[in-house]
């Protein structure tokens, strides 16, 4: 037993933890959990917890159903919520999913990202990520297809008062910090009831774990405040969608590989090739970074959502933005990917972004000139005339491009690639089979 495992066992006894929730995600990024009592944890560290993988979407076939969840002790955190005696009595650990023989499961999104991080490490890089996560607070979550009621009518940076949840943001930040997730900023976003909370940077795997924890905590804090939280990409036709703008940087030891003080943009050749890789492969990775039918309502009609694979300096209409708040600060040199929405599976989304960027570096892609226009105001014909490549405008278009992509297939692995496509094509067919109220209003009288 290693020191991290010993720390967990001591913490369980000292903190009087009565339940440990072992977390993992399925291929679409839905959080899964199994609860065990402290007496079982030592055995779980040694042997894992067996479960029926065929019951989890895309994990295994019935004939190969035996699957093992192995808790990662480095992710141990006490859940901050109070029980009857005002003390927390539950903790969580993320798990790596393996086969009974101990080999990593090809269906585990955590293992998918770990493979890409290993590929980056072979090139001498580590990857840090800092996301800005947007979501809506609502008074209800109707199931009849109607839009939810937002908790307020505030706008960007407003000091909006939530009559239904006046302490939400305070409670949310306290819960995140209690679980070791550092918050940099929080504020009201542009939509009514829309919030943004920015997490302090961490390595890509740790940050993906943080994002899954973030979604769980935000929904739980909202519920305890008598409201709801939704990470749906675009719940309102008339209001902005919810993004997960993600700042990325590569590091070589303690040196920021994206910084070059002699470049006019302070961007190194590595950074430019990384950006070029993401732009070149943006259409084929969009189904992963924007995985729902609803995601493309945000990309086509959302405020400040990118419509084309472009980059720019401080240009918030570009897909990749280079922040210029501190141009001479080496540690802050990074790029911001603005296409991701808040419903993306972070393990898979960061895997394909990293794969695209690394390919740009490996093959020496050239970076085009930065976009200086407001891309969102350009027509499709104007974008084409300026040489910009449009992002997919629908999930089915994105899936058709993904199907042909060797890069995505290699990044996700054959199993996840096939299961993801199969699931998402089914979503497209279900959506397209609907007869919508718009069609009835428009065509019923024909």
Domain count, the chain: 2
For residue 63, the model assigns a pLDDT of 36
Which positions ≥6 away from 139 have C-beta within 8 Å?
Answer: 148, 149, 150, 151, 164, 227, 228
376 and 239 assigned to the same domain: yes
Q: CATH code at 27? A: 3.10.20.70
How many alpha carbons fall within 13 Å on the CB side of residue 415?
Answer: 15
- Are 59 and 85 in a shared domain? yes
Same domain assignment for residues 41 and 124: no
CB 158 within 8 A of CB 188: yes
pTM confidence score: 0.94
Average pLDDT over residues 334-359: 97
User: For 300-316, how does the pLDDT look when each residue is reduced to its tens digit (9 = 90+)?
Assistant: 887 778 999 999 998 88
Tally of residues, the chain: 446
Mean pLDDT, rounded, of the chain: 91
- pLDDT, tens only, 191-211: 999 999 999 999 999 999 999
Query: Do residues 91 and 120 share a domain?
Result: no
CATH number of the domain enclosing 173: 3.30.590.10
State residue 327's pLDDT score.
67
Distance CA 314, CA 317 (A): 9
CA distance 212 to 23: 9
Q: Are residues 195 and 220 in the same domain?
A: yes
Q: Are 290 and 340 in contact (CB under 8 A)?
A: yes
- Which of helix, strand or coil describes residue 144? coil
Q: How confident is the model at residue 52 (pLDDT cuts 50, 70, 90)?
A: low
Residue 234 in any domain: the answer is: yes
- Res. 445 pLDDT band, cuts 50 70 90: very high
What are the distances in angstroms from CA 103 to CA 97, 98, 100, 111? Answer: 9, 6, 8, 11
Residue 284's nearest CA partner among 410, 371, 397, 116 is 397
pLDDT digits (tens, 9 = 90+) for 8-18: 999 999 999 99
**pLDDT (0 to 100) of residue 9:** 96
% pLDDT > 90, the chain? 75
Please tell me the number of Cα atoms within 13 Å of 226 on its side-chain side.
Answer: 7
In a domain, 3, yes or no: no
With a cut of 60, say whether residue 357 has pLDDT above it: yes
CA distances from 198 to 132, 214, 379 (A): 4, 11, 32
Distance CA 214, CA 181 (A): 8
Is a pLDDT exceeding 90 seen at residue 331? no
Q: Could you list the residue range(s) of the whole structural domain that residue 85 is in?
A: 15-100
The predicted pLDDT at position 205 comes to 98
Give the tens place of pLDDT for each residue, 284-304.
Answer: 999 999 999 999 999 988 777
Q: What is the DSSP letter of 390?
A: B
Report the alpha-carbon distance of residue 28 to residue 286 in Å, rounded.
Answer: 14
| 136-149 mean pLDDT | 93
Q: Which of 56-65, 129-138, 262-271 has the lowest mean pLDDT?
A: 56-65
Percent of the chain scored above 70 by pLDDT?
A: 92
In a domain, 231, yes or no: yes
9: phi > 0 → left, psi -120 to 50 → alpha, else beta; which?
Answer: alpha
pLDDT band at 122 (very low <50, low <70, confident <90, very high): very high
pLDDT confidence of residue 64? 44
**Residue 5 domain-assigned?**
no
């Amino acid at each position: 037993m290693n020191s991290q495992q010993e720390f967990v066992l001591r913490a369980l006894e000292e903190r009087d933890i009565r339940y440990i929730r072992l977390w993992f995600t399925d291929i679409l990024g839905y959080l899964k959990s199994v609860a065990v009592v402290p007496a079982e944890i030592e055995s779980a560290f040694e042997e894992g917890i067996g479960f029926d993988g065929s019951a989890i979407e895309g994990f295994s076939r019935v004939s190969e159903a035996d699957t093992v969840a192995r808790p990662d002790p480095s992710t141990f955190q006490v859940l901050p919520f109070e029980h009857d005696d005002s003390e927390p009595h539950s903790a969580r650990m993320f798990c790596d999913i393996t086969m009974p023989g101990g080999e990593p499961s090809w269906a585990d999104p955590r293992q998918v990202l770990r493979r890409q991080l290993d590929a980056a490490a072979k090139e001498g890089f580590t990857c840090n990520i800092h996301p800005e996560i947007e979501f809506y607070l609502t008074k209800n979550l109707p199931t009849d297809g109607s839009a939810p009621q937002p908790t307020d009518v505030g706008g960007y940076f407003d000091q909006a008062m939530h009559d239904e949840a006046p302490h939400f943001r305070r409670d949310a930040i306290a819960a995140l910090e209690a679980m070791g997730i550092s918050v940099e900023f929080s504020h009201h976003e542009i939509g009514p009831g829309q919030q943004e909370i920015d997490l302090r940077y961490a390595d890509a795997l740790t940050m993906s774990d943080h994002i899954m924890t973030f979604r769980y905590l935000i929904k739980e804090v909202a519920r305890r405040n008598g409201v709801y939280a939704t990470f749906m990409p675009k719940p309102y036709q008339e209001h902005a969608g919810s993004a997960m703008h993600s700042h990325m940087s590569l590091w070589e030891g303690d040196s920021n590989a994206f910084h070059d003080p002699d470049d006019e943009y302070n961007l190194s050749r590595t950074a430019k090739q990384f950006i070029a890789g993401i732009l070149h492969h943006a259409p084929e990775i969009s189904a992963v970074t924007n995985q729902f039918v609803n995601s493309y309502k945000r990309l086509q009609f959302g405020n400040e959502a990118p419509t084309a694979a472009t980059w720019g300096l401080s240009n918030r209409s570009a897909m990749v933005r280079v922040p210029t708040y501190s141009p001479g600060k080496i540690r802050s040199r990074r790029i911001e990917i603005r296409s991701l929405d808040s419903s993306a599976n972070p393990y898979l989304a960061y895997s394909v972004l990293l794969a695209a960027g690394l390919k740009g570096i490996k093959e020496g892609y050239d970076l085009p000139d930065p976009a200086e226009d407001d891309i969102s105001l350009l027509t499709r014909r104007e974008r084409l005339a300026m040489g910009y490549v449009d992002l997919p405008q629908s999930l089915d278009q994105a899936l058709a491009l993904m199907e042909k992509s060797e890069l995505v297939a290699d990044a996700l692995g054959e199993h996840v690639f096939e299961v993801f496509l199969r699931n998402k094509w089914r979503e497209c067919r279900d959506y397209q089979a609907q007869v919508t109220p718009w069609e009835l209003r428009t065509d019923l009288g024909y």
